[in-house]
Amino acid sequence: MKKRRMIAALLSAALVLGIAPAIPASRASRAFGAEGTGVQGDSGLLWLVNYGHSVSKDYAASDMRTAAGSSVKMRAAAASALESMVKDLKNTGLSIRLNSGYRSYATQTYLFNTRLAARQKTGMSYEAAYAATRKFTAVPGTSEHQLGLAIDLSTDGTLTAAFGNTAQGKWLSANCWRYGFILRYRDEKYSQTQIGEEPWHFRYVGKPHAQIMYEKDWCLEEYIDWLKENGHISLTAGDMVYDVYRTAGDTSGYRDVIDRSSDNSGGVIVTTYHPADPMAYIRGHWSESSFAMLFGEEVPAVFGVIDPDRSITRGEFAALYAQQMENGKLPAAAQSPGSAGFSDVPRTDPYYSGITAAAAAGIMGGNGGRFRPEGFLTREEAAVAAAKCVKDDELQYLDYGDLGSISGWAFQSVQKLALHGIMKGSDGNFRPGAKLTWGEAAALLRSLEEYVGSADGGLQI
């Protein structure tokens, strides 16, 4: 009885949605993850659930909420996107009803069994009734509604094929991708989905995936299959670039990740996001003039998009130094050429040649045959590398407040750089253990170049 009442309430809950409050957009910022996807882990937004890939009957997402002006529940990211989509649809003068969002396994079971029984009552055999039911009602455990990522929409509370020919159905079909939704079940994709045409059922996958599937005319199954086979797809949208990777293994090592989502078919889909313009984050930054002196107008492709506030890795710093050496702007070390060849720097490493050159020049070295290219460089480590090309042995008396935390092996290097104004601290401190940022690295190498190039600079290159 209780269950029956709950279902009745759910089915009659097809409220006309009021105007949703405006969702603050953050398109201009780097915080796309907060606006779009950003949900991590096994309950990711690209979770494939269909006849062949089920979800546990105990699964319920932990981040569900009720969509504004309705009683429909969805996961938070999907609910926000739905509210935006409904608001824009209504702004065209059309009305829409939200029929059904999240459904538990128990609800889906009840729904399926009720529809099955109704068909059997008309005299259909169990097999025929089952086949007819599952064409439009997912077998429990294979419904996207259980994920909290699907929404059924209608004009009058009924879910029929006619919805596809209404102005609302057409608008949604043409525009849902802009909000991160896909029209999930279409006749021409039946062989993939095993579900018939459902013009009312929209699945949230997040941008940019919805746009990719829309542009390629792929259903979710085809998208995942394509990624399985090719590993990567890229989408340029406006001045931003999305790179989508599918991996069966380790997902660390990707930069600028906005989303990691299991696909429920043995892989993880990693989505990254960066500006198409590699100078985008540098423009207007305090380090801009240093980068301009190092690179001119063009950032070498090997560095990709540089975020000047991001910590620089040892591999990146070595490559940056080597690149300036190659341009004749920075010298090899004053003493002791180093040895190259590191067990953790394969030839395929994008910074292989830079690391090899910087090591051969005695600027940076390894430890136990390893270079740690992915490791970050502390400010005092950077000071040691930079001081290698200061021939002058004079030292500066230091009065940094955190003087005591400068390591013994770095002390004289810090003194040398201070003497020539090549590397200074800020607010009276040197911050020896802090990670060097890209912006600081650019400023450091620029000062070093000015020192080296000046009349009384120590070295002949």
Radius of gyration of the chain (CA): 29
Residues in CB range of 458: below 8 A, 6 or more apart:
334, 389, 390, 391, 392, 451, 452
Beta 64-66 vs 73-75: how paired, if at all? antiparallel
Residues in CB range of 284: below 8 A, 6 or more apart:
none
| Residues 134-173, mask of contacts with Zn ion (x by CB under 5 A) | ------------------x---------------------
Provide the minimum distance between the beta carbon of 150 and Zn ion in the complex, in angstroms, as a whole number: 5
Provide the minimum distance between the beta carbon of 49 and Zn ion in the complex, in angstroms, as a whole number: 12
C-alpha–C-alpha distance, residues 237 and 258, integer Å: 15
Residues in CB range of 12: below 8 A, 6 or more apart:
none
| Residues 192-231, mask of contacts with Zn ion (x by CB under 5 A) | ---------x------------------------------
Contact 345, 315 (CB under 8 A): yes
Q: Is 198 labeled as catalytic in the residue annotation? A: yes
Alpha helices in 151-301 (DSSP H): 167-175, 190-193, 209-216, 220-230, 288-295
Q: Tell me which residue has its CB nearest to Zn ion.
A: 201
Nearer to Zn ion, 203 or 209 (CB): 203
C-alpha–C-alpha distance, residues 170 and 354, integer Å: 55
Provide the minimum distance between the beta carbon of 200 and Zn ion in the complex, in angstroms, as a whole number: 7
Provide the minimum distance between the beta carbon of 148 and Zn ion in the complex, in angstroms, as a whole number: 12
C-alpha–C-alpha distance, residues 69 and 66, integer Å: 8
Q: Which of 198, 221, 316, 440 is catalytic?
A: 198
Contact 459, 389 (CB under 8 A): yes
Nearer to Zn ion, 195 or 442 (CB): 195
Cα angle 124-150-106, degrees, rounded to a multiple of 5: 55
Provide the minimum distance between the beta carbon of 35 and Zn ion in the complex, in angstroms, as a whole number: 25
Provide the minimum distance between the beta carbon of 115 and Zn ion in the complex, in angstroms, as a whole number: 13
Nearer to Zn ion, 152 or 221 (CB): 152
Provide the minimum distance between the beta carbon of 203 and Zn ion in the complex, in angstroms, as a whole number: 8
Query: Which strand ranges, in their side-by-side order, compose the sheet holding 201-204?
Result: 97-100, 150-154, 201-204, 181-183
C-alpha–C-alpha distance, residues 138 and 150, integer Å: 12
| Residues 98-137, mask of contacts with Zn ion (x by CB under 5 A) | ----------------------------------------
DSSP assigned state of 183: E
Nearer to Zn ion, 153 or 414 (CB): 153
Nearer to Zn ion, 184 or 446 (CB): 184
C-alpha–C-alpha distance, residues 159 and 302, integer Å: 53
Residues in CB range of 213: below 8 A, 6 or more apart:
177, 182, 205, 219, 220, 222, 223
Nearer to Zn ion, 201 or 274 (CB): 201
How many chain residues bind Zn ion (CB under 5 A)?
Answer: 2
Catalytic positions, please? 198
The residues of the shown chain that bind Zn ion, judged by CB under 5 A, are 152, 201
